[in-house]
């Protein structure tokens, strides 16, 4: 039963709130505004779709918001600006696909340096192809940002890199980056950065680049990205045209990316120690699909699918100190003899090539017009194990170096089918100097051990 005293109290309370009216609403409004959490932009002269350059007004807005600890939300529309230096702790967001910040020209677009934290989300950053300043390497040019978050943004039309992030930590996640004249993302000297879930395409010289000025610990994670249509407009023999490129950066993971239609490699690791390249889909690479090259120690290349390339997987340059790897459980297929330049070494058209302190196991190689496996190059071979691989439809099943001074190779329990020139062949550089060692025997070459291999 309803208590009479409680009923009278409730009626009185209703009367009080009715009497308070607009006065109470006014007192509650600041608290509600605080819950919404964004700065009021109306007093700054910032207007969506204004034809004029709004750099000065936006600069003042960003600095005031950062000082007050309030996020900035920009409504849908076009905002033309340039020369903006982003302040520490800025949190800037908009409507995905509809809040567009467009380069007004005159050098820098957006930049920031020496920041503890910066968050950019749900924005379109359009460089409009306009020139950037000499000191700016990217449309979004950031240096020494300890905790960086760039998420769900579209970044397009940069005259240099899309994002230039030097000495940055944090994450670059879920963005669409396109039509950069250089690379989509250039991360150099990173501090445990995560580059995840981005779509990078139609860039002039590279997709995602993780570099260091000198070889050192880096720790960047490059995972779950989609990279496609990457050109090599500045030419070269591999410095440009790569979907994902790791250079001098140690302890980097490149996992579960989908990379297609790159002028050179899908994944290229140069002087990258302790690199892990796993679970990537690599389609239609113009040169070698996956590279671990030059002065590195430690590479895991596993469970990748390669379909279409000049070469499949190369773990090479023992002459430069490149050593120590496992290559396992990959599928490599549909290779071709043509590459993007004239090759002065082994050429193109082979599946997996390794040189030193490396185990190659459990891989399937199909349609390799030159060789399925290539073990060593001239005298550059040491401690190579090739076991349990399947090679079918190849020019030669396995080419192994028989040059004097070569180190040991164990070739065991591999299966070969439809290998035109033979299953296991001895080479001196590019010159075939033996018949099929499976039939002739390898006794003449003390550095080779063959066991349990079969031709189907």
- What six digits make up the tokens of 359? 């185990």
> Which sign, positive or negative, has the C-alpha torsion 31, 36, 39, 45?
negative
Listed in sequence order, the residues at least 6 apart from 380 whose beta carbon sits closer than 8 Å to its beta carbon are 318, 319, 355, 356, 401, 406
Domain boundaries, the chain: 287-456
* CB crowding 410-440: b at 16 or more within 10 Å, else e: bbeebbbeebeebbbbbbeeeeeebebbbee
CA–CA separation, 124 and 139 (whole Å): 12
In this prediction, residue 76 carries a pLDDT of 98
Judge if pTM exceeds 0.75. Answer: yes
In this prediction, residue 36 carries a pLDDT of 53
pLDDT in tens, the chain (456 residues): 344 444 444 434 434 334 444 443 333 333 333 335 799 999 999 999 999 999 999 999 999 999 999 999 999 999 999 999 999 999 999 999 999 999 999 899 999 999 999 999 999 999 999 999 999 999 999 999 999 999 999 999 999 999 999 999 999 999 999 999 999 999 999 999 999 999 999 999 999 999 999 999 999 999 999 999 999 999 999 999 999 999 999 999 999 999 999 999 999 999 999 999 999 999 999 999 999 999 999 999 999 999 999 999 999 999 999 999 999 999 999 999 999 999 888 999 999 999 999 999 999 999 999 999 999 999 999 999 999 999 999 999 999 999 999 999 999 999 999 999 999 999 999 999 999 999 999 999 999 999 999 999
In this prediction, residue 21 carries a pLDDT of 42
Burial-class residue 3 by CB neighbours within 10 Å (0-12, 13-18, 19+).
exposed
Cβ count within 10 A of residue 27: 10
In this prediction, residue 186 carries a pLDDT of 98
In this prediction, residue 344 carries a pLDDT of 85
- What six digits make up the tokens of 305? 């699918």
DSSP-based three-state secondary structure for 26: helix
In this prediction, residue 17 carries a pLDDT of 36
Q: Which of 389, 383, 247 is nearest to 313 (CA)?
A: 389
Q: With residue 232 as reference, give the H or E element that holds it.
A: none
Dihedrals phi, psi of 291, to nearest 5 degrees: -125, 135
Taking a C-beta distance cutoff of 8 angstroms, is the pair 107, 131 a contact?
A: yes
In this prediction, residue 37 carries a pLDDT of 78
């Amino acid at each position: 039963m309803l208590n009479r005293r409680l009923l009278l109290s409730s009626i009185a309370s209703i009367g009080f709130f009715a009497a308070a009216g607009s006065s109470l609403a006014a007192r509650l409004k600041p608290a509600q505004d605080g819950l919404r959490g964004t700065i009021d932009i109306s007093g700054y002269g910032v207007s969506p779709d204004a034809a004029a350059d709004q750099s000065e007004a936006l600069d003042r807005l960003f600095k005031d918001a950062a000082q007050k600890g309030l996020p900035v939300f920009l409504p849908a529309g076009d905002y033309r600006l340039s020369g903006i230096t982003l302040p520490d702790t800025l949190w800037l967001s908009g409507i995905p696909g509809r809040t567009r910040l467009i380069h007004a020209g005159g050098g820098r677009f957006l930049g920031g340096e020496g920041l503890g934290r910066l968050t950019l989300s749900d924005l379109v950053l359009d460089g409009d192809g306009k020139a950037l300043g000499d000191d700016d390497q990217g449309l979004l040019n950031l240096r020494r940002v300890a905790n960086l978050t760039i998420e769900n943004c579209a970044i397009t039309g940069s005259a240099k890199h899309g994002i230039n992030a030097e000495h940055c930590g944090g994450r670059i996640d879920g963005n669409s980056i396109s039509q950069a004249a250089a690379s989509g993302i250039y991360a150099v000297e990173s501090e445990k950065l995560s580059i995840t879930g981005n779509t990078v395409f139609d860039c002039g010289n590279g997709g995602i680049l993780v570099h260091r000025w000198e070889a050192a610990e880096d720790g960047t994670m490059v995972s779950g990205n989609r990279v496609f249509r990457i050109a090599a407009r500045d030419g070269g023999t591999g410095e440009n045209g790569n979907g994902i490129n790791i250079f001098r950066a140690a302890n980097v993971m490149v996992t579960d990316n989908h990379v297609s239609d790159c002028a050179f490699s899908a994944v290229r690791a140069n002087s990258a120690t302790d690199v892990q390249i796993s679970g990537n889909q690599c389609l239609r690479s113009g040169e070698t699909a996956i590279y671990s090259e030059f002065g590195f120690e430690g590479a895991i290349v596993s469970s990748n699918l390669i379909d279409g390339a000049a070469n499949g997987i190369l773990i090479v340059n023992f002459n430069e100190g490149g050593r120590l790897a496992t290559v396992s459980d990959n599928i490599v297929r549909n290779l071709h003899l043509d590459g993007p330049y004239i090759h002065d070494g082994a050429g193109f058209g082979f599946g997996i090539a390794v040189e030193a302190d490396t185990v190659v196991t459990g891989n399937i190689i199909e349609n390799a017009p030159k060789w399925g496996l290539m073990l060593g190059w001239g005298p550059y071979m040491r401690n190579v194990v090739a076991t349990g691989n399947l090679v079918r439809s190849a020019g030669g099943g396995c080419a192994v170096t028989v040059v004097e001074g070569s180190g040991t190779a164990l070739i065991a329990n591999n299966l070969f089918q439809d290998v035109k020139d033979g299953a296991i062949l001895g080479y001196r550089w590019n010159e075939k100097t033996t018949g099929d060692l499976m039939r002739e025997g390898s006794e003449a070459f003390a550095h080779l051990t063959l066991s349990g291999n079969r031709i189907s």
